[in-house]
Amino acid sequence: MMSRRHLWVALALATGAAPAKAETIEVTIEKLVFSPAKIEAKVGDTIRWVNKDVFAHTATVNGAWEVMIPPKKAASLTVKKAESVDYFCRFHPNMKGHLTVTSP
């Protein structure tokens, strides 16, 4: 039988050793609007854009990255570094969003 102390150590290892679980943050695109417009994520999280429009959109950060989101489809990006950036749709630059990524 495992002693109380051993059990405690095992439990601490199990919870402490596991890094914060990566999450998926969903952004809906409907009628040319990113919703929510402002999102926060931690490094390692995934942003998932769900496009409900019949139009293709992008999530673009000039000179950095771009995610193409086909009509009626979803597309994802796993964020790898801490940054705070404005993004927009290259096809419809009046669509704007903001992403803040923090270190875990």
Partner 1 sequence: MFIRSTTALAAIFLLGAAPSSQAADKPTDPQIAHIAYTAGVLDVEAAKQALKKSKNKEVVDFAKDMVRDHEAVNKQALDLVKKLKVTPEDNPTSKALTKAAAEERAKLAKLKGAAFDKAYVASEVAYHKQVNGALETLLIPSASNAELKSLLETGLKIFQGHEQHAEHVAGMLK
Whether 64 contacts 88, CB under 8 Å: no
Choose between 5 and 31: whose C-beta lies nearer to partner 1.
31
The structure tokens listed for 37 are 């417009």
For 12, 30, 48, 77, 83, the CA distances from 41, given in Å and listed in that order, are 26, 21, 11, 11, 10
The minimum distance between CB 93 and partner 1, in angstroms, equals 4
Query: Which chain residues interact with partner 1 by CB under 8 A?
Result: 31-33, 54-56, 71, 89-95
CB of 90 to partner 1, least distance (A): 8
Q: Which is nearer to partner 1, 2 or 54 (CB)?
A: 54
CA dist 15 and 74 (Å) reads 33
Q: What's the closest the beta carbon of residue 42 comes to partner 1, in angstroms?
A: 31
Q: Which is nearer to partner 1, 25 or 56 (CB)?
A: 56
